[in-house]
């Protein structure tokens, strides 16, 4: 691997594209003060990713861009490209997996651009990359960011001025251990990421734990609920079957009872209706008949009384007549025919009268009879001579007729009386029958009442039954909510005999208790909870596995870091030993004797300082840590001075150069840039310096900025830098003679 060339464009005083070719191992850059030589050195720093603006003598990115002059306009951006021959494929880049991948280019071209706004771009073979990649890439060829191989003007004794830790860094850089440091850093980042991930996972698990626990408890509840559901289902089967059979039986019994009672009521209604039929009519008829007979009997009695009185009168008259006859002894007799006629007339009249019912009808008849009798009387007066005899006979005849009449009436009276008697008997009988019937009717009505009550009771029972049926149906509905369609399984359940109501009631209570418990544990969306639980569990298991994986990789990384640290430690110690051999040699060469050596020191540090992109110090943690550093021990020949700060400027330069060269000898860098490192050397030492340059140039490309003729004389190629009339640096290849002229 070799440095090929450097392209500077718009960087600092280099307004135009300027190319430095490194076809010779020692290239010297010469020129007057302020011509831009140091700008070339800074271009090296810049392109290699230098972040300290101070070490490039600027404050802002803008300071690195050509500012323009009277004749030239300012540059939009500064760019520097450095080219390496990579035919031996030594350049490596660490990929994301942490492995080093060889870059398959014959030429490696690293570029950096800076814009006015401070934006930086890093380019590797045409593609934009990160600064980190540049660092990584350079570390693989021992060009670390410590810049130990670029010695700026006035920095010849930089390594002496640096503190122990900085020195150690430079040496690590020089020994090519930086790559391991990067790896450690990478691993530590990974470690931190892993640790963070682990913390996150632990936190996640901790966060999830209460919910998972809750879900687990829910699940347990569900399991319990399931058991209860099974128990409930089995209880229900028996209970509902019993209940349904009982209700069916009850319904049938009531229906039967109802029909039978209704039938009875109907028959009783018929009985009652039949009892009421006809009885009163017959009674009324008989009573009417009785009244008529009684009336008739009264009439007869009246007639009989009248006739009786008539008889009395006739008998009185007969008595009178007989007495008169006796007294007068004169008998006026009427011819028998005449008497017969009179009697006949009276008979007719009497019969007529007898046939009349009321007195008004009888009255004219009686008047007629009186008329007949008057006529008879007149005649008798006229016919006194007919005598009393005729009169008496007539009277007797009339009396006989009346007697016959009376007999006839009496017969009639008897007949009527008999009839009345019989009617009264009949009515009595009817009343008796009526009374009997009434009694029957009453008992039927009582029975009817009883049956009606029974019917009411049945209706009541029906109501109760309906309520029970409703309860039964509600129970099924409620049960369905708790155990689903299985509630209907009772239909196919077989029972040997129906349980009594008490047993059923006990069963119902048992069911009720389970229902309450189940209701308590039942929460909506059981399946969702189950799903969520499964998901949460899976997630937790996943996290658990993740945690295990992370802790495994944590161990691997820790082991890797430990291994790397051990490797660095070993290689560093070995490197120091090797450097010390070289250092001693260069030192005694430079000083004509004496001793120079490095030693590893350890000191406790409270903080570690890191630089940010702008070169500002960053505090990284506060913890106390043991830091290794490097001490430089010198003992000059013939002098007792051992402290570095007691050395003269020249001695400091010589010591630094000896150390730098020793380091470069142990692990030669691809190039070394030395800006006036020889400034303080006297002629003799300049020669020694020149010798050393030649020795080093066998392994590394040397870019040397110098005003020193001796040094110039060792160069294969000389570049002269001048400030042109346009105010920009100009580069030209010069011969040794020209160079010595330009350098002045």
User: Which residue, 515 or 730, has its beta carbon nearer to ligand ATP?
Assistant: 730
**Residue 200 burial (CB count, 10 A):** 14
- Find the shortest distance in angstroms from Cβ 135 to ligand ATP: 25
Alpha helices in 278-386 (DSSP H): 279-328, 336-355, 359-382
**Comparing C-alpha atoms, which of 192, 568, 214, 275 is closest to residue 441?**
275
Within the chain, how many helices (H) and strands (E) appear? 15, 18
**Comparing C-alpha atoms, which of 609, 611, 629 is closest to residue 620?**
609
User: Which residue, 56 or 179, has its beta carbon nearer to ligand ATP?
Assistant: 56
**Residue 89 burial (CB count, 10 A):** 13
**Residue 660 burial (CB count, 10 A):** 25
User: Which residue, 65 or 177, has its beta carbon nearer to ligand ATP?
Assistant: 65
- Region 674-713 residues binding ligand ATP, contact defined as CB under 6 A: none
Contact 420/294 with Cβ under 8 angstroms? yes
- Find the shortest distance in angstroms from Cβ 117 to ligand ATP: 15
- Region 19-38 residues binding ligand ATP, contact defined as CB under 6 A: 31, 33-38
Contact flags string 330-369 toward ligand ATP, x per CB under 6 A: ----------------------------------------
- Find the shortest distance in angstroms from Cβ 74 to ligand ATP: 8
Fill in the DSSP letter of residue 363: H
Report the C-alpha gap between 705 and 26 in whole angstroms: 11
User: Which residue, 63 or 571, has its beta carbon nearer to ligand ATP?
Assistant: 63
Contact 303/354 with Cβ under 8 angstroms? yes
User: Which residue, 35 or 398, has its beta carbon nearer to ligand ATP?
Assistant: 35
- Find the shortest distance in angstroms from Cβ 58 to ligand ATP: 8
User: Which residue, 35 or 653, has its beta carbon nearer to ligand ATP?
Assistant: 35
Q: What is the 3-state secondary structure (H, E, C) of 594-659?
A: CEEEEEEEEEEECCCEEECCCCCEEECCCCCEEEEEEEEEEECCCCCCCCHHHCCHHHHHHHHHHH
**Comparing C-alpha atoms, which of 304, 394, 393 is closest to residue 346?**
394
User: Which residue, 507 or 708, has its beta carbon nearer to ligand ATP?
Assistant: 708
- Find the shortest distance in angstroms from Cβ 147 to ligand ATP: 17
- Find the shortest distance in angstroms from Cβ 129 to ligand ATP: 25
User: Which residue, 31 or 49, has its beta carbon nearer to ligand ATP?
Assistant: 31
Fill in the DSSP letter of residue 334: P
User: Which residue, 67 or 437, has its beta carbon nearer to ligand ATP?
Assistant: 67
For ligand ATP, how many residues bind (rule: CB under 6 A)? 15
- Find the shortest distance in angstroms from Cβ 31 to ligand ATP: 5
Beta-carbon contacts of residue 58 (< 8 Å; ≥ 6 apart): 64
- Region 593-652 residues binding ligand ATP, contact defined as CB under 6 A: none
- Find the shortest distance in angstroms from Cβ 739 to ligand ATP: 14
Q: Report which secondary-structure segment, H or E, holds 445.
A: helix 387-483
Contact 174/672 with Cβ under 8 angstroms? no
User: Which residue, 187 or 728, has its beta carbon nearer to ligand ATP?
Assistant: 728
- Find the shortest distance in angstroms from Cβ 703 to ligand ATP: 13
**Comparing C-alpha atoms, which of 139, 136, 132 is closest to residue 176?**
139
- Find the shortest distance in angstroms from Cβ 684 to ligand ATP: 24
- Find the shortest distance in angstroms from Cβ 35 to ligand ATP: 4
**Comparing C-alpha atoms, which of 662, 666, 669 is closest to residue 583?**
662
- Find the shortest distance in angstroms from Cβ 56 to ligand ATP: 9
User: Which residue, 13 or 656, has its beta carbon nearer to ligand ATP?
Assistant: 13
- Find the shortest distance in angstroms from Cβ 6 to ligand ATP: 14
Q: Is 680 helix (H, G, I), strand (E, B) or coil?
A: coil
Report the C-alpha gap between 671 and 648 in whole angstroms: 28
- Region 220-239 residues binding ligand ATP, contact defined as CB under 6 A: none
First to last CA, the chain: 35
Report the C-alpha gap between 463 and 248 in whole angstroms: 14
Beta-carbon contacts of residue 551 (< 8 Å; ≥ 6 apart): 198
Q: What is the 3-state secondary structure (H, E, C) of 85-96?
A: ECCCCCCEEECC
User: Which residue, 12 or 77, has its beta carbon nearer to ligand ATP?
Assistant: 12
**Residue 556 burial (CB count, 10 A):** 14
User: Which residue, 39 or 656, has its beta carbon nearer to ligand ATP?
Assistant: 39
- Region 139-178 residues binding ligand ATP, contact defined as CB under 6 A: 153
Joined tokens for residue 242: 């019993």
- Region 54-113 residues binding ligand ATP, contact defined as CB under 6 A: 63, 65-67
194 lies in the site for ligand ATP, by CB under 6 A: no
Please state whether 49 falls in left (phi above 0), alpha (psi between -120 and 50) or beta. left
- Find the shortest distance in angstroms from Cβ 743 to ligand ATP: 9
Report the C-alpha gap between 365 and 375 in whole angstroms: 15
Q: Report which secondary-structure segment, H or E, holds 165.
A: helix 164-174
Beta bridge partners of 673: 150, 703
User: Which residue, 34 or 316, has its beta carbon nearer to ligand ATP?
Assistant: 34
- Find the shortest distance in angstroms from Cβ 9 to ligand ATP: 13
Contact flags string 473-512 toward ligand ATP, x per CB under 6 A: ----------------------------------------
User: Which residue, 12 or 652, has its beta carbon nearer to ligand ATP?
Assistant: 12
- Find the shortest distance in angstroms from Cβ 79 to ligand ATP: 13
Report the C-alpha gap between 12 and 30 in whole angstroms: 17
Q: Which residue matches tokens 């060792």?
A: 714
**Residue 678 burial (CB count, 10 A):** 22
Q: Is 46 helix (H, G, I), strand (E, B) or coil?
A: helix
Q: Report which secondary-structure segment, H or E, holds 26.
A: strand 26-30
**Residue 162 burial (CB count, 10 A):** 20
User: Which residue, 31 or 629, has its beta carbon nearer to ligand ATP?
Assistant: 31
- Find the shortest distance in angstroms from Cβ 577 to ligand ATP: 37
- Find the shortest distance in angstroms from Cβ 65 to ligand ATP: 6
User: Which residue, 38 or 397, has its beta carbon nearer to ligand ATP?
Assistant: 38
Judged by CB under 6 A, the residue of 3, 7, 9, 12 near ligand ATP is 12
Judged by CB under 6 A, the residue of 13, 380, 665, 706 near ligand ATP is 13
User: Which residue, 167 or 730, has its beta carbon nearer to ligand ATP?
Assistant: 730
Contact 26/671 with Cβ under 8 angstroms? no
Report the C-alpha gap between 389 and 374 in whole angstroms: 18
Give residues in contact with ligand ATP (CB under 6 A): 12-13, 31, 33-39, 63, 65-67, 153
């Amino acid at each position: 691997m070799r440095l090929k060339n450097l392209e500077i464009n718009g960087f600092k005083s280099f307004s135009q594209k300027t190319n430095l070719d490194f076809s010779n191992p020692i290239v010297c850059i010469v020129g007057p003060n302020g011509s831009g030589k140091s700008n070339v050195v800074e271009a090296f720093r810049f392109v290699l990713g230098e972040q300290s603006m101070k070490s490039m003598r600027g404050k802002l990115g803008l300071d690195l861009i050509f500012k323009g002059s009277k004749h030239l306009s300012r540059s939009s951006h500064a760019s520097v490209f450095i080219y390496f021959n990579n035919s031996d494929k030594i350049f490596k880049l660490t990929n994301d997996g942490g492995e080093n991948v060889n870059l398959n280019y014959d030429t490696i071209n690293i570029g950096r651009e800076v814009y006015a706004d401070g934006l930086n771009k890093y380019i590797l073979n045409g593609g934009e990359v990160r600064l980190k990649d540049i660092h990584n890439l350079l570390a693989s060829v021992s060009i670390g960011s410590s810049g130990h191989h670029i010695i700026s003007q006035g920095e010849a004794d930089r390594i002496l001025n640096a503190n122990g830790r900085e020195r150690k860094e430079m040496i690590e850089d020089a020994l090519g251990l930086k790559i391991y440091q990067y790896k450690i850093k990478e691993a530590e980042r990974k470690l931190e990421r892993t640790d963070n991930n682990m913390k996150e996972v632990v936190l996640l698990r901790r966060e999830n734990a209460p919910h998972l626990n809750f879900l687990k408890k829910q699940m347990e509840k569900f399991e319990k609920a399931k058991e209860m559901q099974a128990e409930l289902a089995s209880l229900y089967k028996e209970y509902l079957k019993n209940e349904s059979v009982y209700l069916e039986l009850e319904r049938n019994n009531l229906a039967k009872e109802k029909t039978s009672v209704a039938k009875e009521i109907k028959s009783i209604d018929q009985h009652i209706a039949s009892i009421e039929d006809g009885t009163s009519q017959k009674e009324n008829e008989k009573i009417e008949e009785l009244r008529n007979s009684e009336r008739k009997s009264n009439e007869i009695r009246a007639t009989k009384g009248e006739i009786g009185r008539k008889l009395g009168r006739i008998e009185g008259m007969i008595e009178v007549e007989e007495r008169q006859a006796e007294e007068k002894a004169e008998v006026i007799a009427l011819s028998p025919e005449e008497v017969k006629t009179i009697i006949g007339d009276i008979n007719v009249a009497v019969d007529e009268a007898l046939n009349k019912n009321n007195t008004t009808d009888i009255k004219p008849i009686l008047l007629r009879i009186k008329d007949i009798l008057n006529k008879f009387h007149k005649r008798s007066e006229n016919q006194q001579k007919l005598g009393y005899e005729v009169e008496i006979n007539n009277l007797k005849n009339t009396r006989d007729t009346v007697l016959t009449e009376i007999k006839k009436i009496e017969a009639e009276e008897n007949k009527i009386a008999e009839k009345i008697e019989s009617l009264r008997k009949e009515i009595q009988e009817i009343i008796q029958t009526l009374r009997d019937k009434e009694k029957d009717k009453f008992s039927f009505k009582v029975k009817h009442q009883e049956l009606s009550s029974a019917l009411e009771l049945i209706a009541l029972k029906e109501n109760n039954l309906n309520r029970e049926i409703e309860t039964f149906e509600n129970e099924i509905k409620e049960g369905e909510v708790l155990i689903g369609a299985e509630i209907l399984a009772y239909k196919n359940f077989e029972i040997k005999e129906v349980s009594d109501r008490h047993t059923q009631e006990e069963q119902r209570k048992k069911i009720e208790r389970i229902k309450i418990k189940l209701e308590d544990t039942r929460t909506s969306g059981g399946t969702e909870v189950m799903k969520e639980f499964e998901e949460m569990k899976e997630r937790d298991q996943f996290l658990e596995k993740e945690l295990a994986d992370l802790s495994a990789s944590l161990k691997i990384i820790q082991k890797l870091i430990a291994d790397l640290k051990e490797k660095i430690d070993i290689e560093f110690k070995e490197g120091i030993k090797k450097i010390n051999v070289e250092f001693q040699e260069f030192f005694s060469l430079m000083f004509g004797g004496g001793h120079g050596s490095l030693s590893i020191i350890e000191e406790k540090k409270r903080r570690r300082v890191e630089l940010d992109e702008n070169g500002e110090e960053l505090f990284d943690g506060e913890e106390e840590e043991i830091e290794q550093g490097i001490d430089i021990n010198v003992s000059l020949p013939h002098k007792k001075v051992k402290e570095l700060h007691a050395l003269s400027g020249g001695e400091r330069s010589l010591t630094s150069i000896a150390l730098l060269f020793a380091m470069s000898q142990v692990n030669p860098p691809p190039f070394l840039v030395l800006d006036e490192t020889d400034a303080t050397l006297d002629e003799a030492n300049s020669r020694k310096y020149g010798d050393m340059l030649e020795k080093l140039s066998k392994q590394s490309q040397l870019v040397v900025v110098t005003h020193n003729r001796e040094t110039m004389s060792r160069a294969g190629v000389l570049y002269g830098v001048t400030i042109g009339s346009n105010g920009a640096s100009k580069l030209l290849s010069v011969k040794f003679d020209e160079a010595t002229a330009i350098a002045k």
